[in-house]
Amino acid sequence: MKELVSIADWGEAMASERVLVMVSKSDCDECGKSLERVADLDFGNICILVLDNPEAFPLRAELDWLRIEVDVVPFWRLFVYGDVAGTVRGPNLKRVQSMLFDSE
């Protein structure tokens, strides 16, 4: 799983056909539990954006939707060719799996 910390990282991720982005915080217990089980999703292109990583602050400043939409972590967003294809709020990996399946 790749951590997104720069605008270049973001651009590379958005150039992918499908990418799942998990928005997290370093002190989030539910995020840690989700990361332990992320392999259960059987999805190859997963990236993480850690909100409290100082290296990622310039990227956070560029992504307005983070401030507007992320009200709970983990926050999962599926992008297909850079466009939003689905969102799941919280640690429910069954809902994340369903989102991935529905977007095929």
pLDDT digits (tens, 9 = 90+) for 20-39: 999 999 999 999 999 999 98
Q: What angle do CA 64, 67, 71 make, to 5 degrees?
A: 140
Please write the tens of the pLDDT for every residue from 40-80. 999 989 999 999 999 999 999 999 999 999 999 999 999 99
Report pTM: 0.95
Q: For 3-19, what is the mean pLDDT?
A: 96
- pLDDT for res 46: 96
Average pLDDT over the chain, rounded to an integer: 95
Q: Is the pLDDT of residue 91 over 90?
A: yes
CATH superfamily, with its number, for domain 2-102: Glutaredoxin (3.40.30.10)
pLDDT band at 104 (very low <50, low <70, confident <90, very high): confident
Domain boundaries along the sequence of the chain? 2-102
Beta bridge partners, 86, equal: 78
Rounded-to-integer distance, Cα 104 and Cα 42, Å: 14
- Asked if residues 98 and 75 have their Cβ atoms less than 8 Å apart, the reply is no
